[in-house]
Structure 1
């Protein structure tokens, strides 16, 4: 399960399991309800820390995160609307954290995982391997109101339209050109660069930063707070 590590003035939130590259019970860091609850609790810990630290969100191995836990969904179809609402709540929590946030994208970020990337204040993607992609059109899955609003807010119209309607896979160079990420770096320097950006922004960490983020994203947060209707699915 995800875990938090402290390093100087930065928290590092790893989306996989400590001590191994991949968790055998969740090898793609998918959004299982327990995974969502764990990540949400760790974000609360970051926000509540008396000694404010910036946050880097990353993982190890092949995936940053492969998005929704489709195995769980197939076995719990009646719970899907509330499950998606919990995903939206996680996005809102990242979007409004009162500390600077940096996504260090170590591998594939697909679907809900790709959208999680966009919730960070700043995004850095490794150059050698990994794609950012929204496969929903290819998988015959709709975007919720909150997810569509997130993508419209954080991406240009050209990029959001292409990504949402074609399920294109963007490597690091293409993701940078499309404005999906802010910079790229080789994997050996990924965490160091993410920590550096986070540390540079640390003096801005405060309750006021969270208020500013909430004000900046008010329409998006309202959409994310809208309950998912069963009719969408």
Structure 2
């Protein structure tokens, strides 16, 4: 069931509910979901709309472009660090359904989520591209597949229940503290920022 669509020049974000209190936020910004200011602003707005308008649940983000989850390499752009922090501190469990290559800041965007499901795409980090099994072995992803597998992990981990537990939020903030601090120090050298976030 579609909940809302938010348009930006050349693209759109659509939020659907494939299961009870599971919010699937799918974006399409050809050719490769580049992290432009318009894309970042729309992403942040849609997360805020889900938080403010609907019951607490789980948010899945994914791309409607088959070959790209998200890409981009942005320097000295406060908006991207604000979006990263918004996801790291989001008051619902988040899952990145990586159905296309995640490159540069697009990879960092995926890493800011609580969980990641990867299909046959590649996570492209500083020194190499990781296939799904390599990504799981390195701790970048928790599963291989598509929406069915993402819903399966949500059910298996009981994310709809744990999201309402105060202990979950304190643990989430503690686990993400290093990354949150990196976002707060957005004027730090880009290489240092990426290195810290890759260690999540």
Give yes or no for TM over 0.5: yes
1:67 corresponds in structure 2 to 72
**Is 1:184 aligned with 2:144?**
yes
Change (3 A) 1:9 1:32: same
**Is 1:228 aligned with 2:197?**
no
Which stretches in structure 2 are left out of the alignment for 5+ residues? 1-11, 192-200
Q: Distance in 1 between matches of 2:190 and 2:84?
A: 22
| Among candidates 128, 132, 135, match of residue 175 of structure 1 | 135
| Among candidates 29, 35, 54, match of residue 31 of structure 1 | 35
Change (3 A) 1:49 1:171: same
Q: Tell me the TM-score normalized by structure 2.
A: 0.78
**Is 1:49 aligned with 2:40?**
no
Larger relative strand fraction? 2
Q: Distance in 2 between matches of 1:44 and 1:231?
A: 27
Task: Note the 1:141-160 alignment, pairs <5 A.
Answer: none
Q: Tell me the TM-score normalized by structure 1.
A: 0.68
Q: Which has the higher contact order (CA 8 A, sep 6+)?
A: 1
Does structure 2 conserve the Cα–Cα contact (< 8 Å) formed by 1:67 and 1:109? Answer: no
Does structure 2 conserve the Cα–Cα contact (< 8 Å) formed by 1:56 and 1:104? Answer: yes
Does structure 2 conserve the Cα–Cα contact (< 8 Å) formed by 1:4 and 1:12? Answer: yes
SS class of match (1:2): strand
Larger relative helix fraction? 1
- Spell out, residue by residue over 1:56-114, the C-alpha distance to the aligned partner (whole angstroms, 9 max, x if none): 11112111112237xxxxxxxxxx52x2x211111111111111111111011111111
| Cα shift at 1:49 | 3.4
Provide the alpha-carbon RMSD of the alignment.
2.3
- Spell out, residue by residue over 1:99-132, the C-alpha distance to the aligned partner (whole angstroms, 9 max, x if none): 1111111011111111111111111111xx3211
| Among candidates 78, 92, 99, match of residue 106 of structure 1 | 99
SS class of match (1:123): strand
2:113 corresponds in structure 1 to 120
| Among candidates 85, 107, 132, match of residue 123 of structure 2 | 132
- Spell out, residue by residue over 1:27-67, the C-alpha distance to the aligned partner (whole angstroms, 9 max, x if none): 10110101000000111122223411211111121111122
